[in-house]
Amino acid sequence: MSRRFFLPAVLVLLLTVTVFAQLRDVTAAGGTAWVFIAVGVAAGIVLLFAARFETSGMHARVLAIVALLGTLSALFRVPFAAAPSLQPSTYLVICSGYVFGPVAGFAVGALTAIVSNFFLGHGPWTLFQMLAWGLAGASAVALRRLTLRRRWLVLMGIAWGMVFGIIMNLWTWIGFVYPLTARTFMVTWMASLPFDVMHAAGNALFLGLLGIRTIRILERYHGRFEWVRQEDMKGTAALGGEANREPDSVKNTG
């Protein structure tokens, strides 16, 4: 299998397992299309970003830092598992997306869910965690339109603490609640509200204290990479010019 399509294929397998896991509950509850709609939309978005990432042609230096940031974000989550929803993973995902762009930011967020759940437990919820953290990283690029200020980072962290909870509540709603109505979704959301507020407060804390410093560090790395790439391009152009230049012996004949 081509390396380019390996990750999308793995995610398709994850989608299949998720759908079959949900199919048993759907059949027992009398059947509903909401499960397949929610899972299909979530998987479609994840697969779209995965395919974009695989075909983006990123430099090896960017791929390396994306893998490193995704692993660090996942490892940061594990020690905080005892404190529900309080973890520094979202802060690092947002900083990554701000510096490296939406595709790399989504990849860091998706890796956070995949790697950390090897320690905390995989399940159908992993797909929705990939979606939530991935979108947090992808949306962080919107902050580039503003002057980098601590308050904007804090507001972004608070917003994604709440939106993350809504996405995960969607999974809880279709997986464990019956009947699936707007009222039952609101009850599900209200039950998780204290945990969402804790997540938002943790994001605000980490982004407020460490966000700008982390972004500056990542920008220095990214700037060094851009400098190396430009030097490589200049070197390639110079070699091309030498190759296209006719030898003097050829010019002077005839």
CATH number (domain holding residue 11): 1.10.1760.20
* Chain segment 91-147, per-residue pLDDT in tens: 999 999 999 999 999 999 999 999 999 888 887 788 899 999 999 999 999 999 988
- Percentage of the chain exceeding pLDDT 90: 43
Answer for the pair 116, 78: CB distance below 8 angstroms, yes or no.
yes
Highest mean pLDDT among 16-30, 39-53, 189-203, 222-236: 189-203
Is 254 a domain residue?
Answer: no
Is 240 a domain residue?
Answer: no
Is 139 a domain residue?
Answer: yes
- If pLDDT is split at 50, 70 and 90, which confidence band does 49 have? confident
**Extended beta strands in the chain, E state:** none
Residue closest to 95 by CA, chosen among 12, 214, 5: 214
Please give the mean pLDDT across all residues of the chain: 79
What's the structural domain count of the chain?
1
Q: Is the pLDDT of residue 242 over 50?
A: no
Q: Which domain holds residue 27?
A: 3-234
Is 239 a domain residue?
Answer: no
Q: Is the pLDDT of residue 34 over 80?
A: no
As a whole number of angstroms, the distance between CA 171 and CA 141 comes to 26
Residue 119 structure tokens? 């320690």
Is 97 a domain residue?
Answer: yes
Is 249 a domain residue?
Answer: no
Q: Work out the angle between the directed axes of helices 182-206 and 89-100 (0-180°, nearest 10).
A: 80
Q: Is the pLDDT of residue 148 over 80?
A: yes
* Chain segment 61-106, per-residue pLDDT in tens: 888 888 999 999 999 898 888 887 889 999 999 999 999 999 999 9
What is the reported pLDDT for 137? 93
Is 244 a domain residue?
Answer: no
Residue 84 structure tokens? 């529900």
Length of the chain, in residues: 254
Is 77 a domain residue?
Answer: yes
What is the reported pLDDT for 4? 53
What is the reported pLDDT for 24? 53
Q: Is the pLDDT of residue 164 over 90?
A: yes
